[in-house]
Every structure is written in structure tokens, then in C-alpha cells.
């Protein structure tokens, strides 16, 4: 269960958002890192999640049916962002691999003594 049920923490205020951030930033980062094993990507996703919460604070505050606990909400948001990151990374790697296979080898490096 969440430390702060949705109805008791008003994230519309800077103080409320700061409490939310300080309480859950390590949880979100660890979740990202557990799936990715990449510090930079985990930091970026963590930042994106909390930026999104701040930008959508009014809507999140009013949607009591959607956000019943911050821990559950942040856990789902984190897993969704990580999944998207991995999907895009896989697509990019497939594209890069295909591009490298299609590129003719014009020159070969030779060592001259």
C-alpha cells in the first residue's frame, strides 16, 4: 500500500509534489535500473515520470478513480516507460543492424609496415 494514499497528498502544491518526489524518487529509479541496468537511462526515465506528474498534477488530483495510490501509479508509469524505452531501443538496434548489413565494404583497413 502507498505511504500516501492519493486523497491525503495534494500534489498541486510545490510542497506536496516535493514530498511525493522525495518519497518515491529512489523507488522509481530502482525499478528502472532493475529492468535496464543502465544508470543514465534510468535517471532520464525517472525525470520524465516526475515531470509528467507535475505537468498533469491538476488532472491527476481530480481523477480519484484513476490514482488510488501513488506507489501503484508510479510503478505502472515506470514499467510503461521502461517497456517503451526497450521497444524503441530494440527497433533502433534492428534498424542499425540492417543498415550495416546493407552497406557495402569499400575499403578494408590494412596494416602497412
Map grid coordinates 481523477 to a residue: 63
Cell of 52: 509528467
User: What pLDDT shows up at residue 106?
Assistant: 59
Are 38 and 86 contacting, i.e. CB atoms less than 8 angstroms apart?
no
Are 17 and 11 contacting, i.e. CB atoms less than 8 angstroms apart?
yes
User: What pLDDT shows up at residue 54?
Assistant: 94
Is the pTM of the predicted complex or chain greater than 0.75?
A: no
Mean pLDDT of 25-52: 96
Q: Given this structure, which CATH class describes domain 6-99?
A: mainly alpha
Which tens digit of pLDDT belongs to each residue from 55-83? 998 888 776 544 568 888 999 999 999 99
Amino acid at each position: 500500500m502507498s505511504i500516501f494514499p492519493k486523497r491525503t497528498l495534494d500534489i498541486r502544491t510545490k510542497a506536496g509534489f516535493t514530498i511525493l518526489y522525495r518519497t518515491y524518487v529512489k523507488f522509481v529509479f530502482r525499478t528502472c535500473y532493475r529492468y535496464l541496468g543502465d544508470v543514465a537511462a534510468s535517471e532520464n526515465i525517472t525525470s520524465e515520470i516526475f515531470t509528467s506528474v507535475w505537468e498533469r498534477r491538476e488532472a491527476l488530483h481530480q481523477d480519484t478513480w484513476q490514482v488510488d495510490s501513488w506507489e501503484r501509479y508510479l510503478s505502472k508509469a515506470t514499467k510503461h516507460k521502461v517497456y517503451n524505452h526497450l521497444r524503441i531501443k530494440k527497433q533502433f538496434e534492428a534498424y542499425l543492424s540492417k543498415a550495416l548489413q546493407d552497406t557495402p565494404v569499400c575499403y578494408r583497413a590494412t596494416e602497412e609496415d
